[in-house]
Amino acid sequence: MSTVRVRFAPSPTGDLHVGGARTALFNWLFARHHGGVFVLRIEDTDAARSTEAATQVILDALEYLKLEWDEGPGKGGDFGPYYQSQRLDLYKQYADRLLEIGRAYHCYCTPEELDQRRQEQIKAGQSTRYDGRCRHLTDEERQAFEAEGRVPVIRFKSLEEGETKVEDLVRGTVIFDNVTQVDDFVIFKSDGMPTYNFAVVVDDALMKITHVIRGDDHLSNTPKQIQIYEALGFAVPKFAHIPMILGPDKSLLSKRHGATSVTQFYEEGYLAEAMVNYLALLGWGYDDSQTIFSIPELIEKFSLERVSKNPAVFDKQKLEWMNGVYIRELTLEGLYEVCLPFCQKAGLLPEEVSPELKDYTLRVLEQLQSRLKLVADVVDLARYFYRDDYEYNMEVVQKILTKPQTEEILGYVHAAVKDAPKLDEEHLKPQFQEGLKKFGIKMGDLIQPVRVALTGTNVSPGIYDVLELLGRERVLARIEHTLEMLKEKELI
């Protein structure tokens, strides 16, 4: 059997969305499963909408997801160039061939004329399609149009009878009626650029793509593409159209549903492994029970037979949960690596982290690991470990620090911390227990005010861990500062 060759062919007109990322992933998994080749091709023929910046965003997003391509931008390969904008000569060459063999023709109809005829078709209850008017122009008619200054498009002469069968690896056999479902579509626009349906065939054929795996929204383009393959004598690849992704309200997933671009997910702090695991389950599954798949396991188990025909529903909560699972599985060093850029960006850590500061950070992260759902959460959860100017949650302050005895309790803890030989549970707990008797309170009544004073809020790792990490100097200063703040605001 020949080597499997698949491709991901994004149009760089915006961010890489969940749907595109899932298409890239399925192609990548399929290639890796079969020991094949994963090609990345940038479909940038729409000059008005394609930007280099968007191409870079897509490349970065694929890199973040670790979906490494074997051929394409930055990688080279035997079938380049891998930007459609650099392949215009090839498209021209094959369009000329179609013209020569009588399977394409110049069409001079103007957009206004086409629109008018479309309106008439609608009025007559007919399907809207090109009516073939320029199929059989005489030389005189053609010259007259040229003399008027009309610039033609090139249309493909589609089959006038029969049907085109798509043998889809996901959808099964899908039959299209050539007369009503495939018209003489444009393959070259009047601006000299090829259309998607044409360029994609030339590229997939010349790049020797064996399997075209892409979104369901392209199924209706497939009969057109098959007719071009056949007209040019190219081998037709196998097709697999993967189901659409819907939002929780069952409409197509879009920005309305919140974050949908891979960049946003990266910025919100999703781990690549969690994203990949979650995306794999959008339309694919191994069995009903397994949800967590490592990447090697996905590669081993992935097959198109297990891709569903039905749309998949994007469930952000599940993704968030999965991210937490992967965060908890990280080693401390691994957690540090993913948290570092977020902490640096927020100014909690400098560009150059000293060994001591890294050590301290590893201890902080050890305390926070079980609490993180998103890597980005580390910034808020860790802020008071790095900054003395953390903010007080005033609601919590009102609730906890305005109770009677607050000043005495905090004063007592201040003294205990000052005198303790070491700030750990062993040395502090007995002191705190003494305090409970003295004030006639429970442990929580002592710990909560201390926690709020030290962190500004009422949720944090265990109090002894916080005390130990912050160290004597900062603990004393924070208690003093909190008491001043309470007095200033006349809360005590």
* Shortest CB 469 distance to ligand GLU, Å: 49
- Residue number with CB closer to ligand GLU (8 or 385): 8
10 Å Cβ neighbour count for 438? 12
- Residue number with CB closer to ligand GLU (10 or 72): 10
10 Å Cβ neighbour count for 298? 21
* Shortest CB 302 distance to ligand GLU, Å: 18
Structure tokens at 28: 């990548």
- Residue number with CB closer to ligand GLU (213 or 312): 213
10 Å Cβ neighbour count for 426? 10
Kindly give, in sequence order, each residue whose CB lies less than 8 Å from that of residue 491, ignoring residues fewer than 6 positions away. 397, 398, 401, 402
CB 294 within 8 A of CB 325: no
* Shortest CB 11 distance to ligand GLU, Å: 4
- Residue number with CB closer to ligand GLU (39 or 280): 39
CA distance 12 to 55: 5
Which residue in 88, 76, 5 sits closest to 43, CA to CA?
Answer: 88
Which backbone phi and psi does 487 adopt, to 5 degrees? Answer: -70, -45
Structure tokens at 305: 């037979």
10 Å Cβ neighbour count for 98? 21
Structure tokens at 401: 């620090």
* Shortest CB 214 distance to ligand GLU, Å: 4
224: three-class secondary structure by DSSP: helix
Residues near ligand GLU (CB under 6 A) are 9-11, 43, 200, 214, 218
* Shortest CB 37 distance to ligand GLU, Å: 16
- Residue number with CB closer to ligand GLU (214 or 383): 214
What does the radius of gyration of the chain's CA atoms come to, in whole angstroms? 32
Any catalytic annotation for residue 316? Answer: no
CA distance 401 to 483: 9
- Residue number with CB closer to ligand GLU (207 or 428): 207
Kindly give, in sequence order, each residue whose CB lies less than 8 Å from that of residue 334, ignoring residues fewer than 6 positions away. none
* Shortest CB 379 distance to ligand GLU, Å: 34
CB 37 within 8 A of CB 79: no
- Residue number with CB closer to ligand GLU (200 or 423): 200
Q: Which residues partner with 106 through β-bridges?
A: 154
Q: Encode burial over 310-344: b for 16+ CB neighbours within 10 A, e otherwise.
A: ebbebeeeebeebbbebbeebeeeebbebbbebbe
118: three-class secondary structure by DSSP: helix
Selected catalytic residue, list 66, 75, 165, 255: 255
* Shortest CB 222 distance to ligand GLU, Å: 9
CA distance 408 to 400: 14
CA distance 304 to 442: 61
Q: Show which residues are catalytic.
A: 255
